[in-house]
Structure 1
Amino acid sequence: MTAAARPRTDLPGPSGDKYLGNLHAFSTDPLGFLTACSRNYGDVVRLGANNVLLTSPGDVEKMLVDRNAKFSKASADTRRGSRRQGFPRSTMNSDGAEWHAKRHRMQPAFGRSLATKAAEIVDAQGERMLAPWRPGQARDLQDDVSVLTLRLVTSLMFGDEFSDADTAEVARLVAPIMDLSTSPVLLPEWVPTLRKLRIRRSMRRVDRTLHALAASPAAADPQRAPVLHALVHGDPAPSRDELRDELATLIMAGFETTNDSVVWASVLLAQHPEAAERVRAEAEAAFAGTPAGLARMEALSYTNAVVREALRLYSPVWLTSRDATEDMEFGGYLIPAGTTVTVSQWVNHRDPRYWEDAEEFRPERWLGNGPKAVPRGSYFPFGLGPRVCIGAAVATTETVHIVADIWRRYRLELIRPERITPRPALALQPMGVEVVPRAW
């Protein structure tokens, strides 16, 4: 390699504070900070001494697809830190051959039959959620949808709904974990912070619930509980702790991301009455003329476009990071081994270089074959490459049906729209969403 062809090492990026670097800017406003980095410094941005942001769609695709094997989910230091406070033995937090074996064990359970089952049972859960709603009475949409999605996830994947007490316990676990993930400073695990103590107390109770779930009769029936059966009877057979971690991450990932997607789509519909009316009309026709199942999903094409556009503007997964295991080049710059490389759905999904009216809610862009000129790495709400979300089809099916069911019955009015903000924790949570259901 000639000197002229060598990758550059002088990566551009904000210098930040003398002592804290960019830590304060990122922790204060992560979404704004990452967006400004992309707009001001280009496609490869130095965020810190050992952290780089990639914003080129081609580089996103290289990282997550072409060079996936050259990145690890987490370094040893990261594993010793925050991941030990979560679920380190799950597929989501595994790497290499270990990840491949675990993914292979679960993949068959997430086929078309699971999406079909989701489409068939989601209506009953929607009815249950909407039963106590009354026109003119305010609702906390996040709370209502979270209970629905948690019941749906447990029933769909594990054959049995949690009891009301267990549902409340798992829902309570999400809040402290989300809080922990937003802390800009990672303290040693032995430091007994209030957040960690709350998580540990809640985890002990959740452990009992999950182990009882694994021992239930449903685990023996692949038709009744396909995911649970695949885990309990899979090869390799999971240890007790591994099984706990797998169940916990499946529940939390399926519950939190679907919940956030439904709420964000509803917020956008509440702000765009013409789109809401179109969803209502389409849903009325689909529910009246099509039996529950994937055929109804096909009849909800505009609602599906609304959900895809909501995932563009407010993807629950807003940030994806990997650790480089060897030296690599991106955009003419050297990325040394050990560097944490980050891509952001929030940044790329709103990049005006690739999206027309990037900040506008335009479901129509997804009708037909979708936007033709948008590069693959500009839209990846469920990830890309081998580690793409295993439950993407199921989550989309659930979200579309729940949104259609809500909006065919009620027009939602936002009580304090100015207070609704995105909270970038482990997922991009919609905060302050209070609504008043109105009759059409």
Structure 2
Amino acid sequence: MTAVEPLIGIPGPAGDTYLGNLHAFSSDPLGFLTSCAREYGDVVRLGDHNVLLTGPELVERMLVDRGGDFNKKGVEDSGRAARGRGFPTAMMNSDGAEWKMKRRRMQPAFGRTLAVKAAELVDAQGERMLASWKLGEQRDLHGDVSVLVLRLVTQLMFGDEFTDRDAALVSRLVRPIMELSTSPLLLPDWVPTPRHIRLKRGLRDMDRLLRRLTSDPAAVDAERAPVLHALVTGTPTPSPQELRDELATLVLSAFETSNDAVVWTSVLLARHPDIAERVRDEARAAFSAAPPGLSRMERLPYTGAVVRESLRLYSPAWMTSRDSTADLRFGGFTVPAGTTVTVSQWVNHRDPRHWDRAEEFDPGRWLDDSARKMPRGSYFPFGLGARACIGASLATTEIVHIVADVWRRHRLELVDPRGITPRPALALQPMGVKVVPRAW
């Protein structure tokens, strides 16, 4: 849909004569959005048909109160998010009645039973990863955690874990998706660029992998594979393409976001040894007093606060965009139908107007009432409203348990603290994280 009228009166950067703000955004998305919010306020014109909302009340109005007046298609499927190219019938790439039907079909799987199962499985996977570590030996933390998370995710979905070969396959597919999502120049799919070739090859490999995993009759057992069971037995029964798209997007999104969150949290703990020691002490007490499961989670309140604070500073979901389907009013301005409206977790989570010491890593803010009194639109790492992440509770359980397990055993030393940078692709990836495990 094309906007029927320009964005009248909304302040924002003028940009280049021909490219507008494309270069500024592409070269430094996080810095560009932050500077726009600080200079122009709660409603910012980013382009002829693009608006940024930063006021917490406006974010809540968009995602919760007026969520039905926005579509996801046309924004994250049009090319910048490569997952839409490969998985067009997935729930997360659907809108309207189609999205509601698919959400209802999948929702039963993402309850307490799945969280309990995750809490039990994460221990074994953590033990497996840490058994391969040697004190004083440099590790690629992102790579190690990615294998752990992939095995955990596939156990929850299929009742069986990925092999090392399968895990490598999925990891290879993530790379071209992330590359395409950060590229300012999006060529048609048929142009045989190296990225497109890697992406198409990866999608074919993913198809074969999912067909193999779902062909096992045991894979649709409700206890062994609750997610796959909910999909296959739901109404209406998904077509083969729908099944493939749903499973692929769930695997890829759960893999990358949880992986990034664990790594960012570990980077912050490595930079704050006093906080890391408190996590160590709490985790050791919890692991010795409670068996694997959610009862252990209840004994990790400080580690949970650490994870929430990490998600504030480095939320894997750093930006969300939607296309408006109706003329709407935000902050005294008219936003016409057809406008792409963006909100940014990176911007809002660090807004000094709403967060005390916004740039500081302070888990303590989550242990009193200060953070709980914040407006909803100030903190939304998993989104808000009807389209909030279906696996938010599950992901939090996984992240907290993995962080606790790693840090109760080891103190991680950053090899190059200054070389770690955020890469804003489909998820906010931590780049350059090499660590050396040390004894406490």
Tell me if the contact between 1:71 and 1:324 (Cα under 8 Å) persists in the aligned partners.
yes
**Following TM superposition, by how much is the alpha carbon of 1:77 offset from its aligned partner in structure 2, in angstroms?**
10
Aligned to 1:108: 108
Whether 1:319 aligns to 2:329 is no
Aligned to 1:413: 413
SS in 1 for 2:298: helix
- Give the aligned residue type for 1:268: L
Aligned to 2:329: 329
- Give the aligned residue type for 2:157: M
Aligned to 2:223: 223
Aligned to 1:11: 10
CA 1:301/1:80 → structure 2, altered by over 3 Å: closer, same or farther? closer
Aligned to 2:85: 85
- The whole-number CA distance in structure 2 between the counterparts of 1:211 and 1:332 is 51
**Following TM superposition, by how much is the alpha carbon of 1:53 offset from its aligned partner in structure 2, in angstroms?**
0.2
- Give the aligned residue type for 2:124: A
**Following TM superposition, by how much is the alpha carbon of 1:76 offset from its aligned partner in structure 2, in angstroms?**
8.8
- The whole-number CA distance in structure 2 between the counterparts of 1:8 and 1:202 is 40
Q: Deviations for 1:24-51, whole angstroms, at most 9, x for unmatched residues?
A: 0000000000000000000000001111
Aligned to 2:177: 177
Q: Deviations for 1:192-225, whole angstroms, at most 9, x for unmatched residues?
A: 2221111001111110001112222233310110
- The whole-number CA distance in structure 2 between the counterparts of 1:97 and 1:295 is 38
SS in 2 for 1:18: coil
- The whole-number CA distance in structure 2 between the counterparts of 1:59 and 1:399 is 29
Aligned to 1:157: 157
**Following TM superposition, by how much is the alpha carbon of 1:163 offset from its aligned partner in structure 2, in angstroms?**
1.7
- The whole-number CA distance in structure 1 between the counterparts of 2:119 and 2:269 is 22
- Give the aligned residue type for 2:35: A
SS in 1 for 2:371: coil
Tell me if the contact between 2:25 and 2:33 (Cα under 8 Å) persists in the aligned partners.
yes
- Give the aligned residue type for 2:8: T
- Give the aligned residue type for 2:280: R
Tell me if the contact between 1:219 and 1:232 (Cα under 8 Å) persists in the aligned partners.
no
- The whole-number CA distance in structure 1 between the counterparts of 2:36 and 2:111 is 39
Aligned to 1:4: none
- Give the aligned residue type for 1:430: P
- The whole-number CA distance in structure 1 between the counterparts of 2:105 and 2:397 is 23
SS in 2 for 1:299: coil
**What RMSD in Å do the two structures reach over aligned CA positions?**
1.5
Aligned to 1:69: 68
- The whole-number CA distance in structure 2 between the counterparts of 1:354 and 1:313 is 14
**Following TM superposition, by how much is the alpha carbon of 1:370 offset from its aligned partner in structure 2, in angstroms?**
5.4
**Following TM superposition, by how much is the alpha carbon of 1:190 offset from its aligned partner in structure 2, in angstroms?**
2.4
Q: Deviations for 1:245-303, whole angstroms, at most 9, x for unmatched residues?
A: 10110001111110000000000000000000000000000000111111100100000
Aligned to 2:48: 49
Q: Which moved more, 1:376-385 or 1:67-76?
A: 67-76
- The whole-number CA distance in structure 2 between the counterparts of 1:252 and 1:78 is 16
Q: Deviations for 1:276-331, whole angstroms, at most 9, x for unmatched residues?
A: 00000000000001111111001000000000000000000000000000111100
SS in 2 for 1:356: coil
Q: Deviations for 1:140-169, whole angstroms, at most 9, x for unmatched residues?
A: 100000000000000012211112211110
- The whole-number CA distance in structure 2 between the counterparts of 1:171 and 1:426 is 14
Aligned to 1:22: 21
CA 1:79/1:184 → structure 2, altered by over 3 Å: closer, same or farther? closer
- Give the aligned residue type for 1:40: E
Map 1:199-278; keep pairs closer than 5 Å: 199-278=199-278
- The whole-number CA distance in structure 2 between the counterparts of 1:217 and 1:383 is 35
- The whole-number CA distance in structure 2 between the counterparts of 1:191 and 1:328 is 38
CA 1:76/1:177 → structure 2, altered by over 3 Å: closer, same or farther? closer
SS in 2 for 1:224: coil
Tell me if the contact between 2:129 and 2:144 (Cα under 8 Å) persists in the aligned partners.
yes
Q: Deviations for 1:346-368, whole angstroms, at most 9, x for unmatched residues?
A: 00000000000000000000114
SS in 2 for 1:423: strand
Tell me if the contact between 1:261 and 1:310 (Cα under 8 Å) persists in the aligned partners.
yes
> Alignment length, in residue pairs?
434
Q: Normalising by structure 2, what TM-score?
A: 0.96
Structure 2 unaligned residues grouped into runs of 5+: 1-5
**Following TM superposition, by how much is the alpha carbon of 1:191 offset from its aligned partner in structure 2, in angstroms?**
2.2
- The whole-number CA distance in structure 2 between the counterparts of 1:91 and 1:142 is 27
